[in-house]
Amino acid sequence: MIKLENVNKYFGKNHVLKDVNLEVAEGEKLVIIGPSGSGKSTTVRCMNFLEVPTSGHVYIDGEELTTKNRVEMVRRTTSMVFQQFNLYPHKTVLQNLTLAPIKLQHKSREEAESLAYKYLDIVGLREKAEVYPSTLSGGQQQRVAIARALCSQTKIILFDEPTSALDPETIQEVLDVMIKLSQENITMVVVTHEMGFARQVADRVIFMDDGTIIEEGTPEHFFTNPTHERTKLFLSKIIR
Amino acid sequence: MSGNGPFALFRWEKLFESWDQFALGFLRTLEVAALALLLALAIGIVFGVLSTTKSRILQGIVRGYVEFFQNTPLLIQIFFYYNGLAMLGLVLGKFAIGVLGVGIYHGAYVTEVMRGGIDSIHKGQAEAAQSQGFTYVQTMRYIILPQTVKIVLPPLTNQAVNLIKNTSVLAMIAGADLMYAADSWASYTLNYGPAYVVAGVLYFILCFPLSTWARHYEERLKKQGVQKEVKEQKETNVEVAV
């Protein structure tokens, strides 16, 4: 479904991704963990070309993603949920959900709205359809953002630290929605520090540090029997 | 007010007998200002958007335009369109020169206002749009520019005020605008005092409501910002209380 081949990324002289190779299967739930600055966010951002790799190749469904085809391909294949939600503040919740389907997929307003209500039901926020995002709590905003991603009906959803900006008491409501989603045949790539979520949902966990993939495996392997010292150290710090 | 002073009563009477000349000039000033403002907005929006692209070439072109027109006197620009272009064989009407000259000059300022407005929108907004598959132009049109409206409206209104006043340079090329009407009537009748006072009052009538509105709007925005913060504070408190 997604394939990164020898992907390198420099920010100026800073080498943030070092020859990353990674494949994600269709329907797979992949969790990427690692300390801040390890390149995990940059890795997912390369999957929809929010960051264009300095060198290397990105394939979605066997087709190479390039700066030429990225708008059309991203529209068709991937959606993203951000740490800061990034809802459109000048639009209501419903308009946030229907904007892309109407403007980009040329759905009728009725069609787009019934789709929006369907996904608002899934995230449990149907009654908030007519309000503006600024009136919602962080957890609610992120659930709306997830519904917005679902409205694009892409096979891939990328999550870039979706709970890192949330108050502790609202993290679970977002995780619950993501757990619900994980039962669907959606390919999910999730950058997170939520180890409980990783354990419950992930098919595979990747640990990154200093721009490279240090270790990968099933959650069981990861949390009971990690091989690398660096992984052990990280997990000992994050799991208290 | 009596005798033969610059503001003597008979001078005012003369002026009001010729009120139609002032009215025509006023109308011409309005027309030039309205069209020049449209032109300046069109230039400003397009160039403001171009200046925020990643293309160095586009940025450079916009930079050159802004610096050139902001740092040379409007009057020289007007003389260039009037005399310079004519010598090159391109003769423009005075009305067209007014619209183009003032519009292009203020377009440079509007460009800067728009650039500032676009830059002030959090970059996550453009990223969200890009992640949904919006093109750059669509992102600007549906997501970024609508959010800049509130921010740019006060400075744009101030630009509109400056633009109205600057249409008075047309008097220098006999542009049939309000300033020219006042000036030519004054030098013909030698009633300088009332002529300039009335012209000034007419400009004031156009500009004062605009700048007042802009100030109130800006203050209201600031208050709303404060209220929103207070509301958020309350909501957090409620959550904690629960």
Would you say residue B9 lies in a domain? no
Nearest to A79 among B132, B138, B239 (CB): B132
A187-191 and A29-33: which strand pairing?
parallel
Would you say residue B96 lies in a domain? yes
Asked if residue B168 lies in contact with residue B179, where contact means CB atoms within 8 angstroms, the answer is: yes
Q: What is the structure's pLDDT at B231?
A: 52
- Residue A227: CB atoms within 10 A of its CB come to 12
Nearest to B137 by CA among B112, B150, B118, B155: B118
Which residues 100-129 on chain B approach chain A with CB closer than 8 angstroms? 122, 124-125, 127-128
A137 contacts on B by Cβ (under 8 Å): 235, 239
Nearest to B150 by CA among B209, B205, B228, B204: B228
Q: What is the structure's pLDDT at B13?
A: 82
The verdict on a CB contact (< 8 Å) between A104 and B146 is: no
List the CATH number of the domain containing B43. 1.10.3720.10
A104 contacts on B by Cβ (under 8 Å): 132-134, 138
Q: What is the structure's pLDDT at B240?
A: 40
Task: Report the C-alpha gap between B92 and B85 in whole angstroms.
Answer: 8
For an interface test with B, the pick among A88, A144, A146 (most B C-beta atoms closer than 10 Å) comes out as A88
Q: What is the structure's pLDDT at B238?
A: 44
B224 contacts on A by Cβ (under 8 Å): none
Instruction: Give yes or no for residue B108 having a pLDDT over 80.
Output: yes
* A36-47 burial code (b ≥16 CB/10 A, e <16): eebbbbbbbbbb
B239 and chain A: CB distance < 8 Å anywhere? yes
Nearest to B138 among A50, A89, A103 (CB): A103
> What is the share, in percent, of chain A residues with pLDDT greater than 70?
100
Would you say residue B29 lies in a domain? yes
Which contiguous run of DSSP H or E holds residue A217? strand A212-217
Total number of residues shown for chain A: 240
Q: What is the pLDDT of residues A145-173, one digit of tens each?
A: 999 999 999 999 999 999 999 998 899 99
Nearest CA in chain A to B148: A90
Asked if residue A145 lies in contact with residue A159, where contact means CB atoms within 8 angstroms, the answer is: no
> What is the share, in percent, of chain B residues with pLDDT greater than 90?
60
Nearest to A90 among B124, B147, B228 (CB): B147
Q: What is the pLDDT of residues B62-84, one digit of tens each?
A: 999 999 999 999 999 999 999 99
B238 contacts on A by Cβ (under 8 Å): none
Q: What is the pLDDT of residues B39-54, one digit of tens each?
A: 999 999 999 999 998 8
Q: What is the structure's pLDDT at B18?
A: 84
Instruction: Check residue A161 and give left, alpha or beta (phi > 0: left; psi -120 to 50: alpha).
Output: left
Task: Report the C-alpha gap between B208 and B212 in whole angstroms.
Answer: 6
Q: What is the structure's pLDDT at B124?
A: 95
The interaxial angle of helices B145-166 and B19-51, nearest 10 deg, is 140
Q: What is the pLDDT of residues B163-183, one digit of tens each?
A: 999 999 988 888 888 888 888
Range of the structural domain that residue B146 is part of: 16-241
Band (pLDDT 50/70/90 cuts) for residue B220 is confident
Q: What is the structure's pLDDT at B8?
A: 81
Would you say residue B158 lies in a domain? yes
Asked if residue A156 lies in contact with residue A79, where contact means CB atoms within 8 angstroms, the answer is: yes
Would you say residue B6 lies in a domain? no
Task: Give the Å distances, CA to CA, from A90 to B115, B146, B148, B161, B196.
Answer: 19, 7, 10, 28, 46
A89 contacts on B by Cβ (under 8 Å): 147
Contacts for B18 with CB less than 8 Å, ≥ 6 apart: B185, B189
Query: In the sheet where A204-209 sits, what is the strand order?
Result: A78-81, A156-160, A187-191, A29-33, A204-209, A212-217
Number of domains in chain B: 1
Nearest CA in chain A to B228: A134
The verdict on a CB contact (< 8 Å) between B132 and A90 is: no
The verdict on a CB contact (< 8 Å) between B235 and A87 is: no
A72 contacts on B by Cβ (under 8 Å): 133
